[in-house]
Structure 1
Amino acid sequence: MSNNSRVPSGGRNGGGSERGRGDSGYERRDARGRQRSAARVRGERPVSRQAPGERAKRTDAARTVAFDVLRQVDESDAYANLVLPPLLAERRIRGRDAGFATELTYGTLRMRGRYDAVLAHCVDRPLGDLDPAVLDVLRLGAHQLLGMRVPSHAAVSETVALARAGVGAGPAQFVNAVLRRVSEVEPGEWLERLTAAAPDEVSALAVVESHPAWIARSLREALAGHGRDVAELGDLLRADNAAPRVTLVARPGLVDTSDDDAWHDADLLPGTWAPTALVLDGNDPGAVPAVRDGRAGVQDEGSQLVTLALAGVPIEDSDGEGERWLDLCAGPGGKAALLAAMAAQFGATLVANEIQPHRARLVERALQAIPDGVVEEVRTGDGREVGAAEPSSYDRVLVDAPCTGLGALRRRPESRWRRAPSDLATLTGLQRELLASALDAVKPGGVVAYVTCSPVLAETQLVVTDVLRRRDDVERLDTPAALRRALRTAPDGSRPEIPLPAGDKARDDVQLWPHVHGTDAMHLTLLRKKS
């Protein structure tokens, strides 16, 4: 597309036709804080390509709630999965409207990179010069035009109405012009243009599949480092953009799948890998009694697997009775609750440590259904200090280390736009200190699980290798074998065959992938302190 077809951006206020007229935009705000066009200030009738009868006077509730969520994500670093459900409930948006709002919100967040690239072809200024609220409106319109089954005329008119209600009449005219430019090109042709404009194949995949280029390159490197084919990168990025299934954990000893009262007619299917996993089809997990009272919870199947693998590793001269287990970084509590349920079955106890007080409270809530006497305490403290304060005190230690979260982008799509390569230096230093502390805290013969929700080599293999390079009292365990022992067992005694690298690519750690296993990209390395 030539520059002649682009729409002037008009700076951060978004109204291209008023550039250079000496007003800042603040003078054009009405009593409700909405921006009026310069034409209306001068008493002129606004010009629009739409007939008066075609212009929507107000937008619908579903689009409004999607816009409000995007603004909270941008302004407050909120997470959409925490903001959207209560807003839908508060505004009584249900059924198809709730489904539309959910797809519009998450789809826009996931595909923001692609839509920004498209919008950049239609505006003559950097998108960063636009008012953030106007840019969010444009992204919502782009998703309706390019990613949803919304007729073009409805996508444009309703988004213009949203702009008029949310940011003012002047920006609404700008939004109308830009979205009409977007709608003039078919979605497939837009993809061809974006691919042709990219400097290399990875950059093309990054923009088309809506990932920052540095993340796409890090994931490509991770595929190779974990024994997979780099040609899978496209499948991996596409899997990050697919809405994940809602997976529940049935905490052992607390709830049974045959207990009708616990599940309240929820439509449940068995998980693929973990014996504790259940897939919830088309229901709100908050409506499930077992979830509300803590006997079950929402937890990715990969997260369940790595926890079960740690609980199942044999400890020398121990049957589990009297063991002490530690969750070093326990917030928000999903793995801690599953560990505690397993500890209750083995006759062990659990200490849950969390550095953030508000996350420690979430851990306490997650543990509400655990029998008395199993959880020694939920403490607030720095996990890096536990090894020195309590050396050789625990039989099993889980280090669910803070990380970039690049393995869970399908669940928290906004995370990909918040992370930067500079985050790795801070996080990997913390990860090394936490792993070293865990190895000091575990007893001789005990086991440490190093877990991240990231496949990035700097956060997985390199952390473990660097920590072990400095000590001679730790050995690596056969993590794939431990994971296979944790898989669900069929009535005939068989277990599913979980795809892991074999032969020359075999490793002693485990990396799960959304495009291969249907889970978050969880990493697990099991280590034993030598007796």
Structure 2
Amino acid sequence: MTTIKNSPRNLAVTVLERINRQGAYSNLELNQVLKRHQLTVADKHLLTTLVYGTLQHQLSLEYWLQQFTRRKLDPWVKQLLLITLYQYHYLERVPAFAATNEAIEIAKWRGNAGIRKFVTGVLHAALKSGWPDFAAVSDPIQRISLTSSLPAWLVKQLAAEYDLATVAAIGQAINEPARLSIRVNRAKASLAQAQAQLAAEGVQTQPSHVAADGLIVQSGDLLGSQAFAQGIVTVQDESAMLAVESLAQVCDLSQATLVLDACSAPGGKTGQVAAALTKPASQVVALDIHDHKVKLIQKNMARLGLATRVSARQGDARQLAFLADGSLDAAVVDAPCSGLGLLRRKPEIRYQKTFRDSQRLHEIQLAILAAVAPKIKKGGIITYSTCTILKEENDQTVAAFLAAHPNFALEKTQTARALKADRAAKTLTILPSDYGSDGFFIATLKRVE
């Protein structure tokens, strides 16, 4: 029986409070709550929708809330009001009276008569006034910030790097539901074979328009399928698949003997490289700074049937003394970054990051590239990638690296589906608004001397 304590709305308040006060990751916090509470499928879905939806639209909802109260609210009261306002505007199938009544019951259960009365008054006022008219906001930066729920500093920075129309399109795209994409493990099956097995297990898919080895899951229990358990497919965003796909356009991985994945966990790109290796003694060195993540890489490689081709080890990618100079055919440097291309999947990070974070990460990225560079043999490739869309961590990092390493040249990044083939830039930037996949950046660096 569902009580107020374990109702999806009350649990959503708890999750959101922890994310906002403690900086918890939405996916991890939500998963923990789902494991601790016995919820119906419908209640799990509502809880998940409330958490991600409120985070995605937090600034828009706060703007609406501020019209009815400017007093400092207890964190749980604020989150209760925000999830209720979210339901009013975004969940058409949820009757307003149902959302209102449960919010009042939660306020009464968590607080006291005064708080219950306050919550009741705010919600009735919101229902009476309706959704605010953001078009009336004259400043375009503030308007996009409010409609997209992106911090003003980020809108301003993106507008300087792209243009306002592009930023508005990004803002719309990041608040749409994320697709579940999977990569076919070519060491075990072809795309058609994987699709057929998944279909036989009730998992319907369609080929990705972004990545050659990608499938989009349309319905079915992917994680409960034998195709997943047996390592025929693995979960990976379409954009993330492009790093190794682009590497394979300029480096024959079937002839490679040693490849480094410098920042490997959880091992998606490591597995992608390992599946392409064919020489008996060929290896991918999969490096991660955290020991528990090395164990995760090993677990994932075992499921994919690629453990013998991968040497996973704990270590800092800025310290590679264990590798001989000129020993690598190629390296994938999927560098630590601000992750601002992942806002569709991790909405809370937009409120946690600052431009200073990008500047700090730029220095770390350069240090990793500088450590990897001497390990690459002449003619070898570094594929540098990030899951952010800020140029400080992307093109500017690449430019600074090339200025300090004249023995490397920037090659045009190419993909199997010739994405943005007519662009002028040699690097490849995928925006969240381009294909409905994550925002991503790839540069192809070749050692020429």
Both proteins in one fold, TM over 0.5: yes
Q: Work out whether 1:370 is the aligned partner of 2:305.
A: yes
Q: What does residue 136 of structure 1 align with?
A: 79
Give CA-to-partner distance per residue, 1:94-147, whole Å, 9 cap, x none.
33333222221110010011111111221133xxx3211111111111101122
Q: Work out whether 1:325 is the aligned partner of 2:259.
A: yes
Q: Which amino acid aligns with 1:274?
A: A
Q: Work out whether 1:115 is the aligned partner of 2:61.
A: yes
**Residue correspondences, number:** 443
Give CA-to-partner distance per residue, 1:408-436, whole Å, 9 cap, x none.
10010011111122212211110111111
What is the rounded CA distance, in whole Å, between the counterparts of 1:388 and 1:217 in structure 2?
43
Counterpart selection for 1:213 from 123, 145, 152: 152
Q: Which amino acid aligns with 1:175?
A: V
Q: What does residue 19 of structure 1 align with?
A: none
Counterpart selection for 1:152 from 77, 88, 96: 96
| Distance 1:205-1:353 versus aligned 2 partners, 3 A rule | same
Q: Report the structure number with the largest CA radius of gyration.
A: 1
Q: Work out whether 1:522 is the aligned partner of 2:443.
A: no
Counterpart of 1:308 in 2: which secondary structure?
helix
Q: What does residue 204 of structure 1 align with?
A: 143
| Distance 1:345-1:99 versus aligned 2 partners, 3 A rule | farther
What is the rounded CA distance, in whole Å, between the counterparts of 1:208 and 1:170 in structure 2?
32
| Matches for 1:5-84 after TM superposition, within 5 Å | 58=4, 61-84=7-30
Q: What does residue 390 of structure 1 align with?
A: 324
Counterpart of 1:287 in 2: which secondary structure?
coil
What is the rounded CA distance, in whole Å, between the counterparts of 2:9 and 2:437 in structure 1?
30
Counterpart of 1:179 in 2: which secondary structure?
helix
Contact 1:332/1:363, CA 8 A, preserved across alignment: yes
Contiguous gaps of at least 5 residues in structure 2: none
What is the rounded CA distance, in whole Å, between the counterparts of 2:321 and 2:141 in structure 1?
42
Q: Which amino acid aligns with 1:423?
A: D
Q: Which amino acid aligns with 2:42?
A: R
Identical residues among aligned pairs (%): 27
Q: Which amino acid aligns with 1:209?
A: S
Counterpart of 2:287 in 1: which secondary structure?
strand
Q: What does residue 353 of structure 1 align with?
A: 287
| Matches for 1:284-323 after TM superposition, within 5 Å | 284-314=221-251, 320-323=254-257
Contact 2:256/2:329, CA 8 A, preserved across alignment: no
Contiguous gaps of at least 5 residues in structure 1: 1-55, 488-496
Contact 1:59/1:161, CA 8 A, preserved across alignment: no
Q: Work out whether 1:414 is the aligned partner of 2:358.
A: no
What is the rounded CA distance, in whole Å, between the counterparts of 2:182 and 2:173 in structure 1?
20
> What is the CA distance between 1:219 and its match in structure 2?
2.3
> What is the CA distance between 1:85 and its match in structure 2?
4.0
| Distance 1:295-1:141 versus aligned 2 partners, 3 A rule | same
What is the rounded CA distance, in whole Å, between the counterparts of 1:517 and 1:58 in structure 2?
41
Q: What does residue 473 of structure 1 align with?
A: 407
> What is the CA distance between 1:523 and its match in structure 2?
0.1
What is the rounded CA distance, in whole Å, between the counterparts of 2:10 and 2:280 in structure 1?
51
| Matches for 1:415-434 after TM superposition, within 5 Å | 415-434=349-368
| Distance 1:435-1:404 versus aligned 2 partners, 3 A rule | same
Counterpart selection for 1:498 from 399, 419, 430: 419
Contact 2:4/2:10, CA 8 A, preserved across alignment: no
| Distance 1:285-1:90 versus aligned 2 partners, 3 A rule | farther
What is the rounded CA distance, in whole Å, between the counterparts of 1:345 and 1:181 in structure 2?
69
Q: Work out whether 1:513 is the aligned partner of 2:434.
A: no
| Distance 1:230-1:181 versus aligned 2 partners, 3 A rule | same
What is the rounded CA distance, in whole Å, between the counterparts of 1:84 and 1:221 in structure 2?
35
Which stretches of structure 1, 4 residues or longer, exceed 6 Å deviation after superposition?
Answer: none
| Matches for 1:170-319 after TM superposition, within 5 Å | 170-187=114-131, 190=132, 192=133, 194-197=134-137, 200-222=139-161, 224=162, 230-256=164-190, 257-258=192-193, 264-314=201-251
